Amino acid sequence: MAKILVAYHSQSGNTERLARSVAQGVMSTENAHAVFKRAADTTARDIKDCDALVICSPEYFGYMAGAIKDLFDRTYEELKEDPATKKKPFCIVISAGNDGSGALAHIERICKGYRFKRVQHPVVCKGQVTEEMLAQCLELGKTVAEGVNAGIF
């Protein structure tokens, strides 16, 4: 069974809504399970044990949320050389008040340091969360889960 970690931070609730849609997409896929966790509660073990990772962050001042950065700070030393994380499939969801490019670039740079492998284009949701954005996130969750199950990722 594919185990997909959906790690998120949200203050306004927008990013949580997007992350929940990703998790619903995973759960709607046969033989897949979503582990839905706040970034502050996510551990190195969670990252090691998952088959793929979806990082969901709001954009603050052109950067990722501090809780997402904290997740990376807390887990990097333990995971940077761990073979279980080399080429771990990941993708990103950004809830952006601006254009999301700064947050996206910084998350991608850090994930490169972990040696993760991006498997889907990021979903950057600008402004208020719409049904179309939620549908994109739902589809992202399905795609990641199906890709892991099929051995593509």
DSSP strand pairing (117-118 vs 123-126): unpaired
| N-terminal to C-terminal alpha carbon distance within the chain | 14
Residue 152 predicted with pLDDT over 90: yes
Cut 0.85: pTM above it: yes
CA-to-CA distance for 53 and 72, rounded, in angstroms?
A: 13
Helix, strand, coil percentages (3-state) for the chain, rounded to 5, are: 45, 25, 30
Among candidates 137, 145, 122, which has minimal Cα distance to 28?
145
- Which two tokens mark 44? 């190195």
Domains of the chain with CATH codes? 2-150 (3.40.50.360)
Over the stretch 80-125, which tens digit does the pLDDT of each residue have?
999 999 999 999 999 998 899 999 999 999 999 999 999 999 999 9
